[in-house]
Amino acid sequence: MDYKIECLVDAKCMLGESPVWDDRRNRLLWADIDGAAIHSFDFDSGETHKWSLPDRVGSFGLCESPWFVVALPDGVYLFDPEDGDLERLVDPEPERPTNRLNDGKVGPDGAFWVGSMDDRPEKEPVAALYRVTAGRRADKVVDGLIISNGLAWSADGRTMFHSDSTAAWIDRHDFDPETGETSNRTRIAELTNEQGRPDGAAVDMNGDYWSCGVSAGVLNRFDRDGDILETIPLPVPRPTMCCFGGPDMKSLFITSLRVNVPQEVLDRHPWTGGILTMRTDVAGAPVHRFKA
């Protein structure tokens, strides 16, 4: 397919991540991790908004209430966008102060799934993936990770994808959307830097997995068995995460980062750090909300 890629918002995020489609308000939200903020673009008014947080925002999700569930470095919080109140639910890793929380999404079970990462320059496999509930539980599901990433679920809620963006693999799990239990973990892909190490991702209604290749400036579309169906070059060198949205869920939104990108590269790629958009031939799987 010949994709027309445009810049929706020239946000110039230092570390744009975690795009989330809000179908109830017809808006796109995303985080700037290093900017310690959540942003939104309202499709009805064309206006943008920014909520500043006290620390880096690894990821966030929507709640059934107007609140957001937010991963800050030291724990998972409920955030009230109206008055800025924060309520910590749980710190999954109090014993690991050199880790921080990273990629996270609300799953089909209504829990917030969030992974951690080793935040030191020399990284080790000391991170993990957690299932966080409104009952202030954080159950460890996968450990031995370096940078947990790439969470996404199939439309029927019975398949979960998960990656490690430094170890550069993608796993598929069977998933119970009622209980949140995972089983049959299967390694479906291992990527090179040239192919694009797997960062944030989304799943379409056909069950294909769209993964930002952060090291190669591409978007890779995989089938459920990990075969690459297509590789889409992007006009930014470091894409970080994608999500489906729009009234028909056939718009794909892509975040990217500027931090540590050389100026000469920024000069050639002026949309770096912006929010890209393109139309796809298939709708994305629905967005879930945290049962707070």
What is the set of active-site residues?
199
Sheet holding 37-42, edge to edge: 16-22, 27-32, 37-42, 48-52
Distances 61 to 112, 166, 225 between C-alpha atoms, Å: 8, 24, 27
Distances 105 to 158, 161, 238 between C-alpha atoms, Å: 15, 12, 21
- Residue type (1 letter), 10: D
The string of DSSP letters for 70-93 reads: EEETTEEEEE-TTT--EEEEE-S-
Q: What is the DSSP letter of 166?
A: T
Burial of 178 (0-12, 13-18, 19+ CB in 10 A): exposed
Q: Which residue has the tokens 């609300």?
A: 106
Strand partners, 276: 7, 254
Answer for the pair 282, 25: CB distance below 8 angstroms, yes or no: no
Answer for the pair 213, 239: CB distance below 8 angstroms, yes or no: yes
Answer for the pair 120, 146: CB distance below 8 angstroms, yes or no: no
- Residue type (1 letter), 45: S
Angle at 213 between CA 211 and CA 215, to 5 degrees: 160
d(CA 98, CA 110): 29
